[in-house]
Structure 1
Amino acid sequence: MKKVLITPRSYGKYNKEELIALFHKNDIEPIFNPYGRIMDEKEMIQEIKDVDGLIVGVDPVNSNVLKCAPKLKAVAKYGVGTDNIDCDYAAKNGISVTKTMNANSDAVADFTMALMLAVARRVVEIDAGCHSEDWSKKEALDIYGKKIGVLGLGAIGRGVVKRAKGFDMEVYGFDVFENVEYNKQNNIKFTDIDTIIKECDFISLHMPLVEETKYILNKNNLKNAKENLIIINTARGGLINEDDLYDMLVAKKIYGVGIDAFENEAVHDSKLLKLTNVIAGSHTAASSKGAINTMSKMATEHVIEDLLK
């Protein structure tokens, strides 16, 4: 019987029996994350050595891990970002890598807007004050009719564009590839990152983390930020230089950030967490019931299909 290691903690939360039955129907044994958290490299090496397939979240699947999995034939990403997977090594060694494309796009776009509203209107700060019997008025920023720059116009970025239009926002966009027809249809001002930083009130990140995008926002370009800029990152932590971001937040050069992805996940000592103008998430933007169901089923179907080839 083939074996599939499943690392995401939310996998099958609402449809686990259905998914296990699907595995068993195809003579496959699912093995679940024994740690109840994101695994480190050493733990991945230990757990992956005897499996044929892998369904993985953000746990490390680098070449060191893959070298220790001689039977591995299929990796199904529970999500869309594959920066934690050595796809080159996988391709060279006949290991298929699939993604659950668009399964969580709406959930992440929703959470992006929730963070944007929360930061701009100081929702967390006001709530904490009320729970401490501080009923003072706290001035905040508007969203309606403002300018937003969307960095990355894939499925999630386009979802944010659609939602931003509901707030009558003026949309600027940037991506590695320009889709002229889409931009024209949606009245997007496609431009460069420096222009977006100077012109926009909000910046929302939806890009993959690759060599070209690492620290795409940093002190050198953010020093030209428009007054009261708000940054939302529901993509990957390494897109922003967090030390630079901290300095600019403390200096009030940036109004606030909503950040659901840190460069080092499950961070314990980030300076950013000490700031009141930072609203943090635990890489949870995709964690809606609908998205979890869809990602779980899609990843399962992908890994079964590849193992049965």
Structure 2
Amino acid sequence: MLIVISEFMDEPAVQALRERFEVRYDPGLAESRAALLAAAGEADALIVRNRSRVDAALLAAAPRLKAVGRLGVGLDNIDLDGCAARGIRVMPATGANARAVAEYVIGATLALLRGVYGATGAVAGGHWPRASLSAGLEAHGRTLGVVGFGGIGQLVATLARGLGMRVLGCDAALAPGHPAWAETGARPAALDALLAEADVVSLHVPLTPDTRNLLDERRLALMRPGAVLINTARGGIVDEAALAAALRAGRLRGAALDVFGQEPLAAGGALAAVLADTPSAASLILTPHIAGLTAEANTRVSEMVANGVTMALTGKAA
């Protein structure tokens, strides 16, 4: 049986699969649609991250496909209905990168509230902007709003509570009496109320028709003046042009974006204009969809997916 791996995977997990299956490990397949479709034609299983589209065309090109392993948790690049109709098992690495994402959120929270870490160039150049950087904020006592209170959102809440932050959570799937609220010390709130109260808002919802542009111009305007927005969920959930306008106008203190409507992010867009505005540059953190990627998380994710695919193909654990 052949397993095709189209994006990077931890090498020990790849080796473990090679001991039991024929494996084509080629991260370059994510860059070539034609090559991916051709490779899928012989595949019994496919392992992807977020850049390989497992859509109707790929499923049609893969008559032998029995399993799709997702090196991550987002499934918007996978045709779940099409897989279900064919009996193809889809296995995300649920929970395996939660710690990495949660620590990214906390790190971004501290960096944006304090607002001092962009001073390296000035200090190295002989400047001493001590007065202008002395009004940073502490996380303790401030309110974090977590939009989407699944496993990652709950871990973010737990870490934030350790810093002495108050936590609000918004998740229509969790009843007010759900144990997760008491376990994390968070208080449930409606989205608009959360936005109006939180000093920091962190997004942890999937991209669906209901969540596309969830934070549009209207909802961004509901956020507290001087609040911070962090998106490690999916591009498309935040209206990037509206966010850029809010940052340039000084209505928000800052934002950290790890995901974008178009990836890679196109040069010269609205967010680039924020960075060109020197006073705002330190208030915007842009990273290339890596919040869930650490050495430890990659090992956990790869091992989980390798085990899941092995079980799907053989009925036995790796």
**Equivalent residue for 1:158, pick from 142, 148, 154:** 154
Distance 2:212 2:36 in 1: 25
Q: For the residues of structure 1 that align with 2:123 and 2:61, how far apart are their CA atoms? A: 53
Alpha-carbon distance in 1 for matches of 2:219, 2:56: 34
Measure, in 1, the Cα distance between the counterparts of 2:183 and 2:304.
31
Distance 2:38 2:119 in 1: 46
TM-score with structure 1 length normalisation? Answer: 0.91
For the pair 1:146 / 2:142, whether they are aligned, the reply is yes
**For residues 34 and 57 of structure 1, do their structure 2 counterparts lie closer, same or farther at Cα, with a shift above 3 Å needed?**
closer
State how far apart, in whole Å, the 1-side matches of 2:138 and 2:192 are: 23
Structure 2 runs not aligned, ≥5 long: 276-280
**1:1-309 map, 5 Å:** 2-9=1-8, 11-12=9-10, 16=11, 18-26=12-20, 28-35=21-28, 38-39=30-31, 41-59=33-51, 60-137=53-130, 138=133, 139-179=135-175, 180=177, 181-269=179-267, 270-274=269-273, 275=275, 276=281, 277-309=283-315
Aligned equivalents of 2:225, 2:115: Cα separation in 1? 17
Percent of paired sites with the same residue: 29
TM-score, length of structure 2 as denominator length:
0.89
Displacement of 1:295 after TM fit?
A: 0.6
Secondary structure in structure 2 of the residue aligned to 1:238: coil
Question: What secondary structure, in the 3-state scheme, does the structure 1 residue paired with 2:83 have?
Answer: helix
CA distance in 2, matches of 1:41, 1:87: 19
8 A Cα contact 2:206 2:234, kept in partner: yes
Q: Is the 8 A contact 2:73 2:93 kept in 1?
A: yes
Give the drift of 1:104. 0.8
Do the aligned partners of 1:120 and 1:142 also contact (CA within 8 Å) in 2?
Answer: yes
Preserved contact between residue 124 and residue 279 of structure 1 (Cα < 8 Å): no
Distance 1:23 1:186 in 2: 38
CA contact (8 A) 2:43 2:64 kept: yes
Instruction: Identify which range, 143-152 or 130-139, moves more after superposition.
Output: 130-139
Please identify runs of 4+ aligned residues in structure 1 that moved more than 4 A: none
Cα distance in structure 1, aligned partners of 2:157 and 2:247: 26
Q: How many residues align?
A: 301
